[in-house]
């Protein structure tokens, strides 16, 4: 398993992973916007065959009145690769990049209340924040 920074040629395959994993889907322009604005914050997990099996799409929030903080826009891992800790590794990598590149103080993540797996981990919260 390899986790690496997203390259422009990965964006279409990230969207494909999103379509397979999540009920809410983004248009390609959303991936391009993140890739152009915060290229150092998004990561993919590649399987043994080099195909994308997970990704984190991340950004910095741009509220000038607030402390610098990041946001996990989308996180997905293919069902075939669950229980390997990939989601945590992807979030950790994005968080580290937020600190190193933008001096982020915390990261936010909005969680669907219908997500049973996340429900167990986040005890019903629709938003999670962690200090980094």
Q: What is the pLDDT of residue 26?
A: 84
Superfamily the domain 2-108 falls into: Gcn5-related N-acetyltransferase (GNAT) (3.40.630.30)
At 99-131, the pLDDT tens digits run 999 999 989 887 765 555 544 554 444 444 544
Terminal alpha carbon distance of the chain: 25
Q: Is the pTM value of this prediction over 0.95?
A: no
42 Cβ contact list (under 8 Å, min separation 6): 5, 6, 14, 34, 35, 55, 56, 57, 58, 94
Q: Which two tokens stand for residue 24?
A: 């809410």
- Indicate the domain borders of the chain: 2-108
Q: At what angle do helices 28-37 and 11-21 cross, to 10 degrees?
A: 130
């Amino acid at each position: 398993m390899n986790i690496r920074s997203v390259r422009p040629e990965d964006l279409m395959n990230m969207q494909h992973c999103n379509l397979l994993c999540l009920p809410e889907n983004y248009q390609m322009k959303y991936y391009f916007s993140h890739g152009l604005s915060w290229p150092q914050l998004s990561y993919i997990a590649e399987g043994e065959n080099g195909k994308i099996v997970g990704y984190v799409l991340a950004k910095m929030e741009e509220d000038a009145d607030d402390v610098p903080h990041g946001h996990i826009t989308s996180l997905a891992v293919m069902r075939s690769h669950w229980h390997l800790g990939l989601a945590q590794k992807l979030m950790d990598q994005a968080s580290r990049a937020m600190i190193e590149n933008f001096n982020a103080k915390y990261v936010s993540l909005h969680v669907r209340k219908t997500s049973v797996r996340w429900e167990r981990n986040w005890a019903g919260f629709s938003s999670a924040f962690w200090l980094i």
